[in-house]
Amino acid sequence: MEGQEAELKDKYKKEWSRLEAIVGSPNRLKQLSQDIVNHFEERIKTIDGKAMIVCMSRKICADLYEEIIKLRPDWHNDDINKGKIKVVITGNASDDEKLQKHLTGGSQRKEILAKRMKDPNDELKIAIVRDMWLTGFDVPSMHTMYIDKPMKGHNLMQAIARVNRVFKDKPGGLIVDYIGIFESLKKALKVYTESDKKTTGIDTSVAVSIMQEKLEILRDMFFKFDYSGYIRGTQAERIRAITAGMDFVLGMGEKDQKEFKNTVVELAKAHSLCASTQEGRDASLEVSYFKAVKASLIKLENKSTNKLSKREIEARVNQLLQKTIISEEVIDVFDTLGLEQPNISILSEEFLEEVRTIKYKNLAVEMLKKLLEGKIKAIERINIVKSEKFSEKLNKALNKYNNQAITNIEVIEELIELAKEIQKAREEDINLGLSENEIAFYDALTSDDAVKLFMSDEVLKQIAHELTEAIRNNITVDWNKRIMARAKMRTIIKRLLKKYNYPPKQAEKAMDVVMKQVEKMCENEIDELDEEDYNYGFMAAESEGEYKIED
């Protein structure tokens, strides 16, 4: 009302005061708090993120906070660095006690509260505000805004813009209107482009329609497949339903598998926009089932071996702790798959024999594939020749299976034989009486079978031993980046091969393979040093009480 006549100011002030009295009445706030809590908890089941509640006055902000923590006491914490919900307002020393406990200085809001709100892994999920953070405050993970304050024009559009930032799988921001801003929104949108108008405002009935359409597609894909155990069964039955569903999808063609995953993504997005509706609640378990099958398949396919940093580990642990987990019963994973628990190596004779009898053959193929890939990856860290040999055999078997040249039962037999071959090779290596690095160089020297026709095992072992010692004594952290250092390394290898009369025709190939193995040996030496430093830092932090996980 800046610049308006006093009479007009008084008129609107009285109207505003009456509206504030109604909006801030105890009974209304009690009902409002219940609705917000229920809606937000339902929302974060489908899309994790943050929310903002916009109130008419600082007093209403404080009163609403009190009502919410009556419903959820564990959301409250007096410490500014803790708690799931905070009131973000300014004030002065003359404010009453109810407001005083929520007042924060500029540096506290910026350095603590703002950082916590922007961090998707921080437990702070809800901010109650009057004017703060409604403009120029970006929190990409914020997906919901509860508006209980008359707003219009530019200020309204700026406030709504707080929830429209792109973030991971977030399908869009959601505005929950408790005060009646729709007419103001229509007026504000007149200054926007046609494309803006089309993408602003989501009709939940449309989201429900899309959700139901995607559910029908998935039901058709799972025609005659019974997954009711997940909907109405025990925890063990749910696990079995997911396992059987994975096996069912793996039995589809590659194109159908891709369509299944894409449809589940579309279903999840639609459901996240209407999760709080009756239709959304009714479909939530069925939606969860398809999401669980897809997520399990993705994990099965994931080949990432990147190490997580300490910060990433802590963030993931915090994220897990923030989830509500209900412990129903202990699930024996081996029992779910119909396997006895193996007492020795995961690729032992006993274990492999039981794999043959697994009910879910497609899943058995994927499980064996995953186990063998892991085993070969471990071998690759030490021995390039053996890893390439076993990797080639694995790919050959899987290609035949993918091209439908062999059945899932036949490929299981081939993979079991490969597992046994890996075990046998391990036993033969032990009998050589060499270290891991020496065995790797022995294999590099004998990668051409013809070499063994000209040289005895004892001589080849001696070359491998001397190679290992010479390389360890001459290796430096950056040797592979320096031309002179690499040339020196090649000279050392050449002299050793010549010293023991290594066959000249095979020498060039052996040189290339040995150099690759040298690079791998160098990587392992550096990794061991890094791991020692990391472990030392981790143990030091633990002894200081900074980071400890029990059980």
Q: What does the DSSP 8-state code read for residue 329?
A: -
Q: What is the mean pLDDT of residues 149-168?
A: 79
Whole-number mean pLDDT of the chain? 78
Q: For 255-270, what is each residue's pLDDT tens digit?
A: 888 899 999 988 888 8
Percent of the chain at pLDDT exceeding 90: 14
pLDDT reading at 102 higher than 60: yes
pLDDT reading at 4 higher than 80: no
Which of 154-163, 181-190, 202-211, 466-475 has the weakest average pLDDT? Answer: 181-190
How crowded is the C-beta side of 128, counted as CA atoms within 13 Å? 28
Q: What is the mean pLDDT of residues 142-163?
A: 84
> What are the residues whose beta carbons fall under 8 Å from the beta carbon of 272, sequence distance 6 or more?
43, 46, 47, 171
pLDDT bracket for residue 532 (50, 70, 90): very low
What pLDDT shows up at residue 475? 67
Answer with the residue of higher pLDDT: 291 or 550: 291
Q: What is the mean pLDDT of residues 106-127?
A: 90
* CB-based burial label for 266 (10 Å; 0-12, 13-18, 19+): middle
If phi over 0 gives left and psi between -120 and 50 gives alpha, with beta otherwise, what is residue 128? beta
Percent of the chain at pLDDT exceeding 70: 78
Phi, psi for 55 (deg, rounded to 5): -115, 165
> What are the residues whose beta carbons fall under 8 Å from the beta carbon of 174, sequence distance 6 or more?
43, 143, 144, 145, 163, 202, 273
CA neighbor of 359 nearest in space, from 377, 386, 375, 336: 336
6-200: CATH topology: Rossmann fold (3.40.50)
pLDDT reading at 389 higher than 60: yes
- Domain boundaries for CATH 3.40.50.300 within the chain: 6-200
**Rounded (5°) CA angle 247-251-252:** 125
> What are the residues whose beta carbons fall under 8 Å from the beta carbon of 263, sequence distance 6 or more?
214, 217, 218, 221
CA neighbor of 172 nearest in space, from 264, 280, 269, 53: 269
